[in-house]
Amino acid sequence: MKIAQLDAIAFGVGPGAFTGLRVACGVAQGLAVASNLPLIPVTSLETMAAMAGADRVLALLDARMGEVYSGSYRLAADGYALEGEIRVSAPGDVTLPTDSGWLACGNAITAYPALLERLNAANVATQPGIVPTAAVVAQIAAPRAVQGEGLDAALAAPLYVRDKVAKTVAERLIEGGRA
């Protein structure tokens, strides 16, 4: 496919790895400016919810540094709708669903065994192997492009849920790490 055949450019806006988000946004912006196309940002957690395919999905992505990105999604007529907001928290502070019928997905489930224990205790089914893919980002963005959604490349920015990108030397030493 050639860029002239595109109606829009979709990109994974985050949350996720800081460098990866900046690269994805920068590449998408460069392509959009060069081709005069709108950008369609798609969150990693919405992508995971779509991959899980359940009516109600708790998407859980390992945020590293002992934290989890989380978002609760319900299937609607036009895709997955976020309930509340995307959060970053310690695995023990992830808000779990209080009603039945939810599916939790994502690599945070295996990264944090205590989180899996909490999910099991709450009778929440799990699919730990789900991580966002570019193909599903494109599938989510396609109907949005048809509807004329999108934003100008100059307005695109990564979704940073956490501002801290690394632990300080003192924090690493307290945890038994190296300076």
Q: Spell out the domain ranges in the chain.
A: 3-174
pTM, to two decimals:
0.88
DSSP characters over 94-105: PPPPSSS--EEE
Q: Which of 131, 113, 16, 24 is nearest to 69 (CA)?
A: 16
Using pLDDT thresholds of 50, 70 and 90, give the confidence band for residue 161.
Answer: confident
Q: What pLDDT digit, counting tens, does each position of 66-104 carry? A: 999 999 999 999 999 999 999 999 999 999 999 999 999
Instruction: Say if residues 145 and 40 touch (Cβ distance below 8 Å).
Output: yes
**Could you give the CA distance from residue 123 to residue 114 in angstroms, rounded to a whole number?**
14
Q: 3-174 sits in which CATH class? A: alpha beta
Average pLDDT over the chain, rounded to an integer: 92
% residues pLDDT > 70 (the chain): 91
pLDDT exceeds 70 at position 174:
no
Q: Is the peptide bond before 15 cis (omega within 30 degrees of 0)?
A: yes
pLDDT at 129: 92
pLDDT exceeds 90 at position 17:
no
**Could you give the CA distance from residue 150 to residue 158 in angstroms, rounded to a whole number?**
15
pLDDT at 1: 86
Estimate the share of the chain in helix, then strand, then coil, as percent rounded to the nearest 5. Answer: 40, 25, 35
